[in-house]
Amino acid sequence: MTKPIHAWETLKGARSYQVLGLAIIWCSVSVSWAEIGDKGTDEATLRADAQKVFKEKVGPFVNKYCTRCHGSRAKAGINLQSALKNPGGESASLHWKKAVANVKVHEMPPEDASKKPTDEERRQFAEWVGKIKYLAPRDPGWFVIRRLTKTEYANTLRDLYGVDPSIADTLPAEVEGEGFLNSISPLQSELFLGIANKVIDQIIAPEGQAPTAVQKRLFGETPKGTDLRKAARGVARTLARDAYRRPPTDAELDVLVDVYDLARNNDLNHMAALGLMLKAVLVSPQFLFITPAGEPESKDAIVLLDDFQLASRLSYLLWSAPPDAELAALADKGDLHKPEVLRTQVERLLKDARSRALFDGFGAQWLRVNELDGQVFDPKTFPQMTPALRTAMMDEARLFFESIVSENQSVVRFVSSDYTFVNEPLAKVYGLEQSVRGLKMRRVKLTNPNRGGILSMPATLATTSFPNRTSPVLRGVWVLERILGERVPPPPADIPELEEQDHKKIEGLTLRQRTELHQSEATCRNCHKILDPIGFGLENFDAIGRWREKNDQGLAIDSAGKLPDGKEFSTPAELKRLLAKREADLARNLTERLMAYALGRKLEGYDDVVIDQLMVKIAADNYRVRTIITEVITSYLFTHRRIKG
């Protein structure tokens, strides 16, 4: 992993910039957020309680059961000795969450340990660790400067210069960080200059020809009888204001004018020199990265984001595009940070058609359907998996996500819904081919209670399958992590896949029975007894999402299972109903994931306290999705940053 770039580091060394895409790895260890909202308990009281619990409960538990393996040296990436020394520190947060996840599934301590906690002690440990967040100082974290994603870069070129977004198609696919695409690809930086050349060629007319409309808008007419260098500085100011998404500094303008001078000294005319200056803008860190306007002159360690940065953070989150004229004007006036103004702008941006980018940027990664395009399927087993069907699957997920946001539905509707969007190819998967014709996607009502929502959506079912069959394990992990926000420990090394099992042992066994063989292995048992029952609840859906009553061997499918809390189900419909009742968990998971995506980093320490506070407001509005989005954007974490310490 590379170190996240902080604002002060970038300003001191603009050439040495890197950014790491960070996201979220969570487990359910939170103290009820009602402690903050309903009881009105202040943070000082909660911190005092956390200190007592840590000293009297957490410390003794860890020293008794954990430090032998996870002491001064990190084993399996968990160092609890350092976490004990600074329990509320940034680095400790992930160690605590990993520890709780492993303790909950009986992975820690190992089965051969001389001392093992009781089930009640394990439950209490998760509860105790959930209070450690109150030991973290009030802190929104460093502002992580990040590069524009491929989509954001293409949309920015479109909005500012009128070129087709396909101009960026030559860029490689994004390199995914820890769940969200906020990372940098070294190869991309080598291609930016080539794309900048294409932009210049498209918007600037050759010498001797009439200027293009975009050229006139950006450069104006060649002035006569005036100081061309002075005019060039004025053009540079306008170009930089739009491209940097903030007013340029005098030093930045000096650099651009130096480029203009270099061009003129090499016998380029005024317009060509301006073109070279624009090219310098397009390959600059200030354009390629979202950066603050500068370091504020403040004695405080924590400050509000400047309005220009806030405008960029908002527009790229909801539109994957630069701030429009209204946002830019509010930033120029210094009004955007005002809560009522910011809330109004969130509502305006969500009503705009460009807000569909929220699915492409965030929603697709949350649901993992962004992996569908690269998913391989055996053409003999699934000849139906054509490019047209893949496209329809992705469109269904997008339209469904957009409908919940635009209609401000409850987060529960993601798992329990009575409608979806299909066209003819996708209707065949649903068994609706008699009523749907043509390639146009349309909204249809679903009468089968096993259908509806993201659990039974072909895109998610296909993404969590293998090329030739379903995967109860992958589907179980997907439900726990993507829907409920649990953290699932990674599988042990050297464990064979089902296809690698002894063929004599598995002859005549169903997929369920073969998968359950994993539970006979001590290293696999604890996780699989949690994952497998959930995944088998979706086994009636084949690898591309079609309903089936029997498996490939002609045997009846057993979809009975239970959730980690012990609640049982026998059909996908019953599984959905159980998940729908956990609306607070569904909403918190979505809130945490959206916050992590918006900040470009994983959540840790004090972040969990802020999420607790947001959940009080979100619950009061019945967990509506627009409320989640608005509360994230107007939150302390989104609108503030640390500059010292």
Domain boundaries, the chain: 34-135, 149-290, 298-351+603-645, 360-580
pLDDT value of position 248: 95
Tokens in use for 247? 């007013």
Q: Which of 480, 439, 482, 454 is nearest to 541 (CA)?
A: 454
DSSP notation for 59-85: HHHHHHHTHHHHSSS-BTTB-HHHHHH
pLDDT at position 638 is 97
- Residue 445, H or E segment: strand 442-445
- What's the pTM value of the predicted model, to 2 decimals? 0.85
Q: What is the sign, positive or negative, of the torsion defined by CA atoms of 451, 452, 455, 459? A: positive
CA atoms of 258 and 233, how far apart (whole Å): 10
- Using alpha carbons, select from 153, 147, 263, 127 the residue that is nearest to residue 204: 263
DSSP state of 464: T
State the DSSP code for 496.
Answer: P
Decide: 591 and 631 in contact? Cβ < 8 Å: yes
Neighbours of 622 (CB within 10 A): 14
pLDDT value of residue 89: 80
- Rounded to an integer, what distance in angstroms lies between the CA atom of residue 160 and that of residue 607? 35
Q: Does the CA dihedral 116-474-365-630 come out positive or negative?
A: negative
Give the end-to-end CA distance of the chain in Å, rounded to a whole number. Answer: 22
Torsions phi, psi for 135 (to 5 deg): -85, -15
Angle between helices 625-633 and 583-599 (to 10 degrees): 40
Q: At what angle do helices 307-318 and 625-633 cross, to 10 degrees?
A: 150
Helices (H), 130-163: 150-161
pLDDT score of 532: 77
pLDDT averaged per 10 residues, the chain (length 645): 34 30 30 40 85 89 82 71 82 81 77 82 88 90 86 96 96 60 64 95 93 96 88 97 96 97 96 97 93 81 94 97 98 97 98 96 95 94 96 98 97 97 98 94 97 98 96 93 85 56 57 62 58 88 96 88 89 97 97 95 91 97 98 97 86
H helix and E strand count, the chain: 32, 8
- Which pLDDT belongs to residue 103? 81
* Residue 437: partners with Cβ closer than 8 Å, 6 or more residues away: 424
Compute the CA torsion angle 376, 381, 384, 387 (nearest 10 deg).
20
- Looking at residue 114, what DSSP letter applies? S
Q: CA-to-CA distance for 205 and 211, rounded, in angstroms?
A: 5
H-helix or E-strand containing 146? strand 146-147
What is the helix (H) or strand (E) element at residue 353, kind and residue range? none
Residue length of the chain: 645
Q: Which two tokens stand for residue 52?
A: 């007592």
Which residue type is seen at 520?
S
